[in-house]
Amino acid sequence: MALDSKIPQGPIKDKWTDYKNHIDLVNPANKRNIDVIIVGTGLAGGSAAATLAELGYNVKAFCFQDSPRRAHSIAAQGGINAAKNYQGDGDSTYRLFYDTVKGGDYRSREANVYRLAEVSANIIDQCVAQGVPFAREYGGLLDNRSFGGVLVSRTFYAAGQTGQQLLLGAYSAMNRQIGRGKIKMYNRHEMLDVVKVDGKARGIITRNLITGEVERHSAHAVVLGTGGYGNVFFLSTNAMGSNVTAGWKAHKKGAYFANPCYTQIHPTCIPVSGDHQSKLTLMSESLRNDGRIWVPKHMKDVEAIKSGALKPRELAEDDRDYYLERRYPAFGNLVPRDVASRAAKERCDAGFGVNATGEAVFLDFASAIQRYGKETAHVKGLDENDAALVKKLGQEVIKNKYGNLFQMYEKIVDQDPYNTPMMIYPAVHYTMGGVWVDYNLMTTVPGLYCIGEANFSDHGANRLGASALMQGLADGYFVLPYTIGDYLSDDIRTGPISTDSKEFEEAENDVRKQLEFFVTNKGSHSVDYFHKKLGKIMWNKVGMSRNVKGLTEAIAEIKALREQFWKEVKVPGTNEEYNEELAKAGRVADFLELGELFAKDALNREESCGGHFREDAVELDGEQKGEAKRNDEDFAYVSAWEYKGEPSDAVLHKEELEFKDIELKQRSYK
Amino acid sequence: MNLTLKIWRQKNASDKGSMVDYKVSDISPDMSFLEMLDVLNEQLINKDEEPVAFDHDCREGICGMCSLYINGEAHGPDRGVTTCQLHMRMFKDGDTITIEPFRATAFPVVKDLIVDRSSFDRIQHAGGFISVNTSGNTIDANATPINKEDADDAFSAATCIGCGACVASCKNSSAMLFVGAKVSQFALLPQGKIEATDRVLNMVKQMDDEGFGNCTNTGACEVECPKGISLENIARMNREYLAASLKG
């Protein structure tokens, strides 16, 4: 099947408006006869559920958590971008569009990104109207801050808990519709398959995680808002339950999977401390607004710091290597995530890592504390030369801005970041790849939509800070409600979809078969045993830097691990009860397939772009020497994989990316 | 570290349940409490026993899912943390640790350490929202300036993660800190004022219907709250409720 992105004609700034003016609408009376299933209730799924219910559709929403309020969007810290230009610093829809396309290393779809930038300002208005308590200035107006990869201040935030507040906003909008009976909410339910009838998505099979009951649910359209698949690495910043199952089952039913190898490695996470670790914790990128990143210049100081003979505070300014400020003077500590992550890895690989494992760099707030302290003393007419006072005042400012992050760091690491620099290291965070969708956010399966992190469309090969929340809410509140109506307008005479058809029966039987296999296969290793092994292969060979040899090995190793999994996995308990191991087994089975496709996609992409650094694609000379080398001539496409059985049989389709409004250029942050 | 764990095991909602002793060894002080339970579960699975069921998800202190009652305290002995942020360095080698589910009539046990907190959701369905369409056709966000102190107070109330520690630590199993936080968030913002009367009456009624007890100003909820939600929110809710009742 040829890929049709369905991008509307006309100038980029008019595409979305023209599109909305010409789509088919559904009469309100008919909306009452149409059912929509939404899987996942984070920012994308939750906002979509609320909006579709408000429009009048019957919504059935599903989440695996005990409440939609716990979706992992809640953990996003830093903020949400919007081209409001409240600061008058030159921001505009075009500039947000430009920064996002450039930041994504020119691997996203122009039309989608422009639309995202266009609706971004509405998101802020909407959320404020819902009672989202964004940070305010003393005059009562909204405050902004800056994020990596941009030169304007366009990020709206609520301390370090922006994701939480936005999610609670979407959750409250959902609550209003649940209260009205327009959304039927299924908590603690996991989607285990998509059901297609006559080629269209018409329902899902779920498992009630408490009772084990396998259920059939039908609808006129199915929307997946199920988040990212970073947990394929075992260790990531994702919640423990985040998984790829919904997207992967959709893939097996005909939805193409796009750019699986595009993973964002976030530069500011708490380093791994040992083998016991179950997940990684991210420290918001907003910390780079005030924190300076460094490692010692000299190996003797690295050794002294590691052994505890030298405190990082005591190292003289001249003996520190502020390597981001050195390499990228224009953006300094605010370079985009992929650049910051690679630079940290480069220093640590060269031996300058500052913790026991050699995989950490410092994020230092001492100079910000000084600067803010002096400023506050000046404003209050106090003595700017009183070092203790300045430090105290400066710490108060930092506490107001990042207090919860500092507290979180202290609890985990047992060190006080106000008095000693934090240690950070890159970790797997957001996945830019996902289910392929067209401009309407529909997958290659008619009636099956995919929104938010679960799709691939807006971020290219790298996601800029504060753009994920923006995409989730844009898709859910403002884009999908239009595009899905155009599709559903053909369904006004369909009537309720029966779940008694052979398609539902077959899908249910397949699901039951797999569940039964797991609880009767008396193997010798736990699910986590396999997940950890997969994670090691992924991180070592398909992680921040990749080469042909490693990727080829990874493909073979994952395949072998998958075979071993199906022979030797052990799942205690039964299906007719709460059984966490059983739920995990299904998720890891899908990760073991996705992992191989991920490596295969990485092998295909013979260029460095985004977080994806190919060791054989590097600039050899000039100003960009040593930086990642993109290859626009051969790789300016979306790789969309078609399922054909084993991941090794997957067929590659290419959506060529056209850049009409932005010139493809070398990304330079120097 | 080597530890003895006394854990509440209960097969399902209708099972009677009992405390069972387990031993774990080689626990690193850097582990989180939940990672320690992971170690125990791996051990149980390898011995063909059923792992202990407990709720958890984000493991960075924000989703509110982890709900353990440890040595008689919600989320354990540390202050201002969820269970996933509780680290084993808070315990000593050789300690015996008692682990139970949150106990309240309105939080029935599902299995082992997992409880059903959907009563919190139902309270929110009753009024935990501002009735605005999600169309994006609202006024400009800066058109209604909000006093910074009010915005900050609303934010502080809104940081409640709905974990239920307040209920678990209250001798009356009261949910007033939780409900007070939500009522306060909207009461402090101009956008939420219009339906404030109905909101507080409906939410309080639902809270009572769910079987939560009343507040007797003991303050244990505030002490155990991982997000430091203040008792002021209960006072604000009471004022709102009184005003609404007089008006109603």
Single-letter amino acid code for the residue at B191: Q
Q: Which residue of B15, B28, B54, B57 is the best one to mutate when testing the A interface, meaning the one whose CB has the most A CBs within 10 A?
A: B57
Pairing of strands A545-546, A613-614: parallel
Task: Please give the pLDDT value at position A147.
Answer: 79
At A399, give phi and psi (nearest 5°). Answer: -65, -40
Residues of chain A with pLDDT under 50: none
Model pLDDT for residues B143-155, shown as the tens digit of each residue: 999 999 999 999 9
What pLDDT does residue A404 have? 80
B193 touches chain A (CB under 8 A): no
Cα–Cα distance between A141 and A589 in angstroms, integer?
A: 49
Q: Which of B170, B187, B167, B165 is nearest to B241 (CA)?
A: B187
Q: Is A190 exposed, middle or buried (0-12, 13-18, 19+ CB in 10 A)?
A: buried
- Parallel, antiparallel or unpaired: strands A58-62 and A35-39: parallel
Q: pTM of the full predicted structure?
A: 0.96
Query: Are the Cβ atoms of B151 and A134 closer than 8 angstroms?
Result: yes
CA angle A539, A545, A548 (to 5 degrees): 95
Q: Is B149 exposed, middle or buried (0-12, 13-18, 19+ CB in 10 A)?
A: exposed
DSSP structure class, residue A204: E
Please identify which residue in the block is written with the tokens 């939609």: A68
Q: Tell me the per-residue pLDDT of B23-49, one tens digit each, with 9 for 90 and over.
A: 999 999 999 999 999 999 999 999 999
Q: Taking CA atoms, what residue in B is nearest to A64?
A: B57
For testing contact with chain A, the best of B134, B146, B152, B229 (most A CBs within 10 A): B134
Chain B residues whose CB is inside 8 A of the A69 CB are 64, 121, 162
3-state secondary structure A614-655: ECCCECCCCCCCCCECCCHHHHCEEEEEECCCCHHHCEEEEE
Give the Cα separation of B187 and B193 in Å (integer): 6
> Higher-confidence residue: A411 or B114?
B114
**Amino acid A130: pLDDT:** 97
Q: What is the dihedral of CA B137, B141, B147, B153, to 10 degrees?
A: 80
| B102, pLDDT greater than 90 | yes
CB < 8 Å to A137, chain B: 148
The pLDDT, as a whole number, for residue B248 is 64
Sheet of strand A200-208, all strands in order from the earlier edge strand to the far edge:
A189-197, A200-208, A214-218
Q: Do B138 and A125 touch (CB under 8 A)?
A: yes
Q: With an 8 Å Cβ cutoff, are A414 and B38 in contact? A: no
The verdict on B30 touching A (C-beta cutoff 8 Å) is yes
The chain-wide mean pLDDT, for chain B, equals 96
Q: Which amino acid, one-letter code, is at A557?
A: E
What lies within 8 Å, CB to CB, of A505 at 6+ separation is none
Residue written as tokens 């389709």? A653
Q: Which residues of B touch A65 (CB under 8 A)?
A: 57, 63, 65
Helix H, strand E, coil C: the string for A20-53 is: HHHCCCCCHHHHCCCEEEEECCCHHHHHHHHHHH
Report the complex ipTM: 0.98
Rounded-to-integer distance, Cα A657 and Cα B189, Å:
45
Q: What is the 3-state secondary structure (H, E, C) of A416-478?
A: CCCCCCEEEEEEEEEECCEECCCCCCECCCCCEEECHHHECCCCCCCCCCCCHHHHHHHHHHH
The beta-carbon neighbor of A66 closest among B65, B159, B192 is B65
| CB distance A71 to A45 below 8 Å | yes
Cβ-contact A431, A264 below 8 angstroms: yes
Q: Which of A446, A488, A484, A454 is closest to A471 using CA atoms? A: A454
Inter-chain CB proximity A125 and B136 less than 8 Å: yes
CB pair distance less than 8 Å for A477 and B189: no
What is the C-alpha to C-alpha distance for residues A503 and A202, in angstroms, rounded to an integer?
10
